Amino acid sequence: MDDWSVAAGLFQVWMFVVIFLIMLPAMFGLSLGVTGVYIRTLVRILEWATLRIQRGRQQQPSDAVPLPDGIFERAGGSMEEEMGQLRSSGFLEFSLSDAFYFYQKGLESIMDDQVTQRFSSEELASWNLLTRTNQNFRYISLRLTVIWGVGVFVRYCVLFPLRITLATIGLSWLVIGTSLVGFLPESSVKTWLSELVHLTCYRICSRGLSATVLYHNKENKPQKGGICVANHTTPIDVVILANDGCYAMVGQIHGGLMGVLQRSMVRSCPHVWFERSEMKDRHTVTSRLRAHVAAKTKLPILIFPEGTCVNNTSVMMFKKGSFEIGGTIYPVTIKYDARFGDAFWNSSKYNMVSYLLRMMTSWAVVVNVWYLPPMTRQDGEDAAQFANRVKSAIAHRGGLLDLAWDGGLKRDKVKESFKEEQQKKYSSIIVGQEVLRERH
């Protein structure tokens, strides 16, 4: 009986901490400051560990390996400039030496293409006591080993059970709360309750990840009747954004646990779920989204136009479909701090369950979110040009690389349009030089 009494006492203390010190403050958007103290302590520990490694490396000198920015040092010039360097004379006519330019670019793409780099974990400038992602972090000492061991205990024996408990409560509350609200007749009260349930659920889940989110320029937050577009690093992006406001989600209907969540959510809120066959019909998707945006009282749609998760260093091509709907676009930049854990979801390497386990055993999720000024399509601007303009603004705000490549290339072959574009560039160089020579 004594053992049972001790177990019951520990359980009561555990639930008191979960409910009264974490969950209830989260539901009201309050913070007791514990997470802030935890993050500051972590930063000091990580800085100390990095200094220890640097000192040890000085005592045991070896050649430092610079952080890789690619195997090749690319010149970054235009096709005409780089091709001109390979020629012994100017662009007067076709030259066999031009083939070396395309040969060089082909080898660079095979060895170290820009697309593949965006689907591997981001290299760290310092060790985060989780995993060594760089060859410079191989120094080991007794103190570092002890700190790492304590960290393993804290992450797996304290934080992980706590996060699992909060995630279970948050998701259960989402299913139960949205299902109950769904029975109410359509009214302003139902809308208010639905937004309240969604907001409190996502706040509980974000606390379950020890998330520290800094929201900048809140005056630009997405408004009803608009479309929120953001760069995409992880499925947790949804939790991070919905922690500060409610959105209408867009996606394909799933089965299993995800299907249960989708069916319960759509009862209380006008989320836009599509059958697999509908997702392939662009006209059907565009029509339903346009109808949603036309109703100015509905929540802003949340869309990730990249269509895949990218590794927190770049923004890849935005699909133009999201920009053909019309209405106001509200760009949002999301940038994770990789020191506390790798937020990138490599779907070809980890399934959803193993990825979430990795996230729940990381130190924390620290992220900056910038709300950019709303943007609309300009006169004479097509959907692709508008998408590129929004993408560039998001990349610039977060200090991310702005890439023109389609993220779908990690699974699909290069589109013929990309090949034709290179052919047109080369042809325009040759034809342009021929015209210039005739004029002279």
Is 60 exceeded by the pLDDT of residue 421? Answer: yes
- Tell me which residue of 203, 206, 202, 233 sits closest to 333, measured CA to CA: 233
- pLDDT value for 96: 61
Task: Tell me the percentage of the chain whose pLDDT exceeds 70.
Answer: 72
Task: Report which of residues 259 and 82 the model is more confident about.
Answer: 259
Task: Report which of residues 29 and 138 the model is more confident about.
Answer: 29
Residue 245 in contact with residue 339, Cβ under 8 Å?
no
Rounded average pLDDT over 300-328: 87
Per-residue confidence at 38, pLDDT binned at 50, 70, 90?
Answer: confident
Residue 226 in contact with residue 328, Cβ under 8 Å?
yes
Is 60 exceeded by the pLDDT of residue 342? Answer: yes
Write out pLDDT tens, residues 172-231.
Answer: 888 888 888 888 888 888 888 888 888 888 888 888 888 889 999 999 999 988 999 999
Where is 333: in which H helix or E strand? strand 329-336
Residue 401's SS3 state is strand
* C-alpha dist (Å) from residue 401 to 15, 69, 258, 284: 44, 12, 33, 33
Task: Report which of residues 47 and 252 the model is more confident about.
Answer: 47
Q: What class does CATH assign to 142-415?
A: alpha beta
Is 50 exceeded by the pLDDT of residue 275? Answer: yes
Is 70 exceeded by the pLDDT of residue 75? Answer: no
- pLDDT value for 83: 64
Judged by average pLDDT, the poorest of 48-62, 144-158, 203-217 is 48-62
- pLDDT value for 107: 59
Write out pLDDT tens, residues 360-369.
Answer: 999 989 999 9
**Could you tell me the residue ranges of all domains in the chain?**
142-415
- Residues with Cβ within 8 Å of 394's Cβ and at least 6 positions away in sequence, in order, are 229, 230, 231, 315, 331, 332, 333, 372, 400
Rounded average pLDDT over 87-106: 61
Per-residue confidence at 393, pLDDT binned at 50, 70, 90?
Answer: very high
Phi, psi of 156 (to 5 degrees): -95, -30
- pLDDT value for 436: 45
Determine the Cα–Cα distance for residues 44 and 37; give it in Å rounded to an integer: 11
Task: Report which of residues 239 and 411 the model is more confident about.
Answer: 239
Is 90 exceeded by the pLDDT of residue 334? Answer: yes
Is 60 exceeded by the pLDDT of residue 89? Answer: no
Determine the Cα–Cα distance for residues 317 and 313; give it in Å rounded to an integer: 14
The encoded tokens of residue 231 equal: 């760069």
Per-residue confidence at 93, pLDDT binned at 50, 70, 90?
Answer: low
- pLDDT value for 374: 95
Is 90 exceeded by the pLDDT of residue 138? Answer: no
What single DSSP character describes residue 244?
Answer: S
pTM (whole model) above 0.85: no
Judged by average pLDDT, the poorest of 11-15, 144-148, 232-236, 307-311 is 11-15
Task: Report which of residues 392 and 292 the model is more confident about.
Answer: 392
Task: Report which of residues 150 and 121 the model is more confident about.
Answer: 150
- Strand duo 401-402 + 314-315: pairing: parallel
Phi, psi of 402 (to 5 degrees): -100, 105
Rounded average pLDDT over 1-27: 75
Is 50 exceeded by the pLDDT of residue 60? Answer: yes
What single DSSP character describes residue 308?
Answer: S
